[in-house]
Amino acid sequence: MELKLARTELDAKPKKIDLKKIEHMLEKEDSVIIYFDRENSHKDLLELQDHFEEAGKSFYMKEVKYGLADNEYIYQVHIIN
């Protein structure tokens, strides 16, 4: 599964991260906060949630608005061992 990370520039293309990279980050840290781009489908993020909850991890996700327009948001995901 590949997901798009939040953009750092408005006109830039989002970088991608895969499930193995996220799992590797969790091996090094007790908790990880990752910001995902709005181009990710909500279904993919729910699959990510199911994966980590089945592995016994705590998973929190919310939308973070950074502007007034409807499409100005990113997803914040916090995964805790």
pLDDT surpasses 90 at 10: no
Q: In what order do the strands lie in the sheet with 58-65?
A: 31-36, 73-80, 58-65
Q: What is the pLDDT of residues 51-75, one digit of tens each?
A: 999 999 999 999 999 999 998 999 9
> Taking residues 5-28, what's their average pLDDT?
94
Q: What is the pLDDT of residues 18-46, one digit of tens each?
A: 999 999 999 999 999 999 999 999 999 99
Determine if residue 56 is left, alpha or beta; phi over 0 gives left, psi from -120 to 50 gives alpha, anything else beta: left
Q: What are phi and psi of 72, to 5 degrees?
A: -105, 75
pLDDT surpasses 90 at 13: yes
Q: Is the CB of residue 47 less than 8 Å from the CB of residue 57?
A: no
| Structure tokens belonging to residue 27 | 């091996």
pTM of the model: 0.91
